[in-house]
Amino acid sequence: MCKLGVDTRDGSFKHNASASELRRTVDWALEQLGTDYLDILVLNRGDPEVPLRESVEALAQLVAEGKGRHIGLSEFSAANVRLAASVAPICCLEMEWSLMSRDLEEQIVPTCRELGICIVAYSPLCRGLLTGAHQVVCLNSCFLKFRKV
């Protein structure tokens, strides 16, 4: 799985899901890993400056060239998952999903089920909170603070 669409070369976090940047990143990853293909090309959150359709078309072209096997998404709305799936087959969607982060169950899960897209859950233990390694310290009714036990 190779996440794409974020440029961190200068130490900052900038969205860049242009076709040229996606291609550059895939070529770089292939070279670094010493392989001919990547299993899943994952578009990370998209880019507000680049239409989602263009980014997915670019990923589909990379798959057609054999540089990737599948296309995945990370952190997308149900509507954008549906849009991406109308452009090219989407194999998975990576989303935060835990006992404390269940927002995706209302729209994302049904959409993915309908479209045959697997959900890859990240942070299923709520970033460590559900491991018992942290204690919740209530600051007020709106904000919580966590302290290591």
Tokens of 37: 């293909």
- The reported pLDDT for the residue numbered 124 is 65
- The reported pLDDT for the residue numbered 136 is 60
Collapsing DSSP to helix, strand or coil, 122 comes out as: strand
Instruction: Using the predicted structure, report yes or no on whether residue 127 has a pLDDT greater than 70.
Output: no
Q: How confident is the model at residue 74 (pLDDT cuts 50, 70, 90)?
A: very high
Q: How confident is the model at residue 137 (pLDDT cuts 50, 70, 90)?
A: low
Q: How far is CA 46 from CA 4, 52, 76, 85, 128, in A?
A: 9, 7, 8, 14, 27
Residue-range definition of the domain harbouring residue 72: 2-148
CA distance 145 to 135: 8
Q: How confident is the model at residue 122 (pLDDT cuts 50, 70, 90)?
A: confident
* Domains of the chain: total: 1
CATH number at residue 53: 3.20.20.100
CB atoms within 10 A of CB 18: 17
* 136 or 89: which leads in pLDDT: 89
CA distance 118 to 84: 14
Q: What percent of the chain has pLDDT over 90?
A: 60
- The reported pLDDT for the residue numbered 81 is 97
Asked if residue 101 lies in contact with residue 124, where contact means CB atoms within 8 angstroms, the answer is no
Q: How confident is the model at residue 148 (pLDDT cuts 50, 70, 90)?
A: low
- The reported pLDDT for the residue numbered 34 is 97
Residue pLDDT, tens place only, 27-73: 999 999 999 999 999 999 889 999 999 999 999 999 999 999 999 99
